[in-house]
Structure 1
Amino acid sequence: MQRIQTLLVKGLCNPACYDHPVDQVELVETHISWVFLAGEFAYKLKKSVNFGFLDFSTLVKRHHYCLEELRLNRRFAPELYLGVVNIGGSPEKPVIGSTPAIDYLVKMKRFSRQNELDSLLQQNHLTPPMIEQFADYLALIHQQAPRIDSHKYFGSLESIKAPSQENFDHIRSLLPDSDHQHQLTELERWSQSRFDNLCNLMVQRKEQGFIRECHGDVHLANMVWLNGQPLLFDCIEFNDNFRCIDVINDCAFLLMDLDDRGAESLSCRFLNRYLRQTGDYQALPLLNYYKSYRALVRTKVICLRLSQPGLSDAERKVDKDRLQSYLDLASRYSESRKVSLIISHGFSGSGKSTFIDQLVPLCGAVSILSDVERKRIHGLELTADSYSAVDSGIYTDQVSQQTYNRLLELSETILISGFPVIVDATFLKQQQREQMRQLSRNLKIPFVILDFHLEEKELFRRINFRRTQSGQVSEATAAVLGKQLELAQPLTKSEEELTIKVYHDSSVEIVTALINKSRTV
């Protein structure tokens, strides 16, 4: 079959076999398929391979998975996935659309590869607003995705462990030297230990409906910025267990891919935006486990590619370097990191959220916002107006205490998961600050207060201007600010010793350095 497909690939590179204008055909090869870029369209041919987790070894199976690829990807990009077409004729002289079929192609609308996110990142054209828009898009996809029934196999402990163990078994049989084998053994020990610790959470998330029919292969090369909008394509069609997964596992591939390419800042922005949209902070303990798993998926793919014929010595060297890079990245996720608890202190309009938005990716932190969690508690959209007056609606003392209790709970979850946390709230009452400080004592981690300063006149100007803008999360008014100024409890002397003062012209880089210094004390 390999010889026949080799002839077929050569034949499909001939522009004459297509039924539409084609000047030349560009061939893109992966470990499981060939893609022919021909004129206005792209055609994917599945390789006749069987890797255990994937089986395209017969014509019937390749046809079935072509149809599945079409069905599943039309959930994300119906405008791209056009149909499944026969290849007739002979391998040497194939005819698209002819019968009887000697193989099958998935036909797609072609787009510029320069708009794929891996290319945009390489060109430094992938911006924070774009990656945050992708986070909104994936959050919506996950919220709308079909839930997997809790009695089904998918999302069970066995279904989670099996592909992870399969990674280790496949990689071990293909790794080129003993140093790699030792590193893999250490990773396997950590993975097993981490899995054992996470079992209860995994079971809980299945019961709560976080196992969904996801995309399964969310990485930069399967994402495109098309007509000013984010779009996913090329989901997993060949293995239901790779697709019917925890939503945070779906996110983990993209986050790992960004980390691998040195774009940790964009990875952090994506994660924060996704969590803010979904409120799924309880997933964080799972994240590094799944990121390590995804790095090992990439390691396995490289091992499989290295086992296939036709690679040049230069290509083999590149692949071996990439293999080591992914093993190192997986190992990095297994390491514990120093964390700290950071809270803001300042009146509405003092610039807390704007500054923290810049600070978060520099610290590799997760931020939580009182305005967001207050509305989430009451089932409101994040930018919805509750039309609450001062001391009423969602702004009573009781609701405010409930909100700060929620921030405390989330902070503990985030910190125990191994992430620094920045809590964006006014913290104008000493009791609210003391709750957080006590949490830092319990966890034996540094505690930092970012104290925001701005002249009163400018505070009112900003608040009044913000009320004229749509899409705001905060509902603070001049009346709210007036009450804050009247009732605020100043920082105590002991709190001052933990404080970094922030002014309108403060450098976010200097503040980051001061925070990092506090972690070493």
Structure 2
Amino acid sequence: MHASETLLNTLRRPGVLPGSEGGVELIETHISWVLLAGEHAWKLKKPLDLGFLDFSTPARRREACEAELRLNRRTVPEIYEAVVAVRGSPEAPRLDGGGEPFDWLLRMRRFDQAGLFSRLLDEGRLAPALFDRLARHVAAFHAAAAVALPGGAFGDAAAVHAPVRQNFAQMREHLDPGVHADLLAMLARVEAWAEAQYAALAPVFAVRLAEGRVRECHGDLHLGNLVVLDGEPRLFDAIEFSAELRWTDVVADVAFLVMDLQARGRAALGWRFLNAWLERCGDYAGLRVLPYYLSYRAMVRAKIAAIRASQLDGAERSESVDECRRYLALAEAQRALGAPALLVACGVAGAGKTSQSQALVEAGGVIRVRADVERKRLAGLAAEATSGSGLGGGLYTPEATARTYARLAVLARVVLEAGRPVLVDATFLKRAQRAAFAGLAQELGVPFAILAFDAPEDVLRARVRARLAAGGDASEADEAVLEAQLRSREGFAAEELARVLPIDTRPVPDWRSLLPALSRLWPGAPRTDGRLTSN
């Protein structure tokens, strides 16, 4: 028996670890043992050398523990407490006193497993609004993360594509051509697409690296590594054993979660999270590489399922093969982008452009860009910051408004050229503003629609008052702004009417009944599936 296993068995005895008098619970992963005792969890690295990780010596296990502590204290310092030296012997370990350490433990504070996103989703208790707060947390984490430099070991096209190619090679080793012909055919299609994407995206990867989009990320951002602590979503269990997997494009990081939600049949939550993250960080150009990374993340899961299938028999083997097939299908599905279209959500303050378009954004995989957010971003302000600008001044001068609409047009083009439908959320009070975006749609050869949100004036006023009282929204419009908008808005010209979809937001819009009309303007609009509801 290896000394680490002897140590594990000793530590499992009640009274050895602090707080373990009531017993010790063991959780085992493929690379670690986690011992739950009292208020703490103690992680012991297995003495393994798997090529992609090396915990084979005490020095390497100490290094891994220290890396895990450092990386996870970026997001949950209250959980990851310390690296603890183990002295004495495996048969009689001590966590204090003198002597040369022979192994190392990572001490963590236990948290309620009921707060895991994966468990909340399985139990139907995962509130969609949590993904908005998660997006802010992830964007702030990425903004503070260390940045990879061009010419280093990470982020260039070759470094990006190496693990993608490795996935295909490793997966083939575990598939039998005589048994898994369908899987190998899918694999070949995904591989051909991935190679074509690599060739096309090589210059994009270089730009992403030069712009600082490659950072020391989490690396394993899926539902099982997200938890609600004190009401707020947090990341934990970042990858400590592989710098190559951790130093990656921020879009590759968020793609893992989006893919995980797609795989669980909750794609709408993935689009909600992605939109909130983009709104916070402004990295709309990253949409160009999103399908590539989504496919890669699904392929990793497919490979793991293939490896597991090769190690099992009977029904368990069949289940793993089916899981591999599902993830391969998901990887292949990334080849088919959503139907691009340019939609503008127009209406005065309080009309519901943002809140009442949420269901469409989620169900249709639509990327929304908001004037209220981009206006402040141009001024170097966070979305929720208060500018103090009065009506017609500061951020709201005609010149500032013109710059905002120009920025929205740039972003709309970026989203459309990435192959995604875009919803531009602004008042669009003037015919000239709407005409400019109609011209952009014509230039790019995509459908164009005007979603005209409106409600009675008393409803508009009540909403504006309530929003200002609640705070935290990018919009600063008050009743004086609303009055000015009502006076100055220009009705639709005759040539616009064929592209207009009126949306009364006095009740919550019934998107199921609106979709047939929208699909006449945008043939790629989502179909009615019973899940299109605003929240």
Q: TM-score, normalised by structure 1?
A: 0.91
Aligned partner of 1:70 in structure 2 is 69
Q: Does 1:210 align with 2:213?
A: yes
CA deviation map 1:475-499 (0-9, x unaligned) = 2233333332333221122321122
Structure 2 SS opposite 1:501 = strand
Q: Quickly say closer, same or farther: Cα 1:455–1:16, change in 2 above 3 A.
A: closer
**Would you say the 8 A contact 1:18–1:95 is kept in 2?**
no
Aligned partner of 2:39 in structure 1 is 40
**Would you say the 8 A contact 1:296–1:330 is kept in 2?**
yes
Structure 1 SS opposite 2:399 = helix
Please give the alpha-carbon distance, in whole angstroms, between the structure 2 residues aligned to 1:427 and 1:294. Answer: 39
Please give the alpha-carbon distance, in whole angstroms, between the structure 2 residues aligned to 1:285 and 1:471. Answer: 30
Matches within 5 A, 1:441-460: 441-460=442-461
Matches within 5 A, 1:434-473: 434-473=435-474
Q: Does 1:183 align with 2:181?
A: no
Structure 2 SS opposite 1:51 = coil
Aligned partner of 1:196 in structure 2 is 199
**Would you say the 8 A contact 1:362–1:512 is kept in 2?**
no
Please give the alpha-carbon distance, in whole angstroms, between the structure 2 residues aligned to 1:241 and 1:297. Answer: 15
Structure 1 SS opposite 2:262 = helix
Aligned partner of 1:137 in structure 2 is 137
Aligned partner of 1:327 in structure 2 is 328
AA aligned to 2:374 is E
Aligned partner of 1:302 in structure 2 is 305
Aligned partner of 1:285 in structure 2 is 288
Using the TM superposition, give the Cα deviation of residue 178 of structure 1 relative to its aligned residue in structure 2, in angstroms.
3.0
Using the TM superposition, give the Cα deviation of residue 423 of structure 1 relative to its aligned residue in structure 2, in angstroms.
1.1
- The alignment yields a C-alpha RMSD, in angstroms, of 2.6
Please give the alpha-carbon distance, in whole angstroms, between the structure 1 residues aligned to 2:258 and 2:94. Answer: 39
CA deviation map 1:395-450 (0-9, x unaligned) = 22222122111111111111221221111111121121122212222333222211
Q: Quickly say closer, same or farther: Cα 1:10–1:383, change in 2 above 3 A.
A: same
AA aligned to 1:277 is R
Stretch deviating more after TM superposition (269-278 or 417-426): 417-426
Using the TM superposition, give the Cα deviation of residue 227 of structure 1 relative to its aligned residue in structure 2, in angstroms.
1.8
Please give the alpha-carbon distance, in whole angstroms, between the structure 2 residues aligned to 1:304 and 1:105. Answer: 30
Structure 1 SS opposite 2:320 = helix
Q: Quickly say closer, same or farther: Cα 1:397–1:344, change in 2 above 3 A.
A: same
Stretch deviating more after TM superposition (348-357 or 58-67): 58-67
Structure 2 SS opposite 1:120 = helix
AA aligned to 2:297 is R
Q: Quickly say closer, same or farther: Cα 1:178–1:14, change in 2 above 3 A.
A: farther
Using the TM superposition, give the Cα deviation of residue 357 of structure 1 relative to its aligned residue in structure 2, in angstroms.
2.5
Matches within 5 A, 1:74-89: 74-86=73-85
Using the TM superposition, give the Cα deviation of residue 9 of structure 1 relative to its aligned residue in structure 2, in angstroms.
5.4
Aligned partner of 2:59 in structure 1 is 60
Identity among equivalent pairs (%): 38
AA aligned to 1:496 is L
CA deviation map 1:146-171 (0-9, x unaligned) = 22223322112222112222222222
**Would you say the 8 A contact 1:19–1:96 is kept in 2?**
no
**Would you say the 8 A contact 1:31–1:301 is kept in 2?**
no
AA aligned to 2:295 is S
Q: Quickly say closer, same or farther: Cα 1:462–1:84, change in 2 above 3 A.
A: closer
Please give the alpha-carbon distance, in whole angstroms, between the structure 2 residues aligned to 1:477 and 1:344. Answer: 20
**Would you say the 8 A contact 1:214–1:244 is kept in 2?**
yes
Aligned partner of 2:113 in structure 1 is 113
Q: Quickly say closer, same or farther: Cα 1:246–1:391, change in 2 above 3 A.
A: same
CA deviation map 1:259-290 (0-9, x unaligned) = 11112121111111111111111111111111
Q: Does 1:227 align with 2:208?
A: no
Q: Quickly say closer, same or farther: Cα 1:181–1:391, change in 2 above 3 A.
A: same
Matches within 5 A, 1:41-440: 41-86=40-85, 95=93, 97=95, 103-176=103-176, 177-306=180-309, 313-440=314-441
Stretch deviating more after TM superposition (327-336 or 471-480): 471-480
AA aligned to 1:181 is L
AA aligned to 1:406 is R
Q: Quickly say closer, same or farther: Cα 1:273–1:258, change in 2 above 3 A.
A: same
Using the TM superposition, give the Cα deviation of residue 87 of structure 1 relative to its aligned residue in structure 2, in angstroms.
5.5
**Would you say the 8 A contact 2:338–2:365 is kept in 1?**
no
**Would you say the 8 A contact 2:499–2:521 is kept in 1?**
no
Structure 2: which 5+ runs fail to align? 525-535
Stretch deviating more after TM superposition (95-104 or 54-63): 95-104
Structure 1 SS opposite 2:105 = strand
Please give the alpha-carbon distance, in whole angstroms, between the structure 1 residues aligned to 2:183 and 2:364. Answer: 31
Please give the alpha-carbon distance, in whole angstroms, between the structure 2 residues aligned to 1:229 and 1:453. Answer: 34
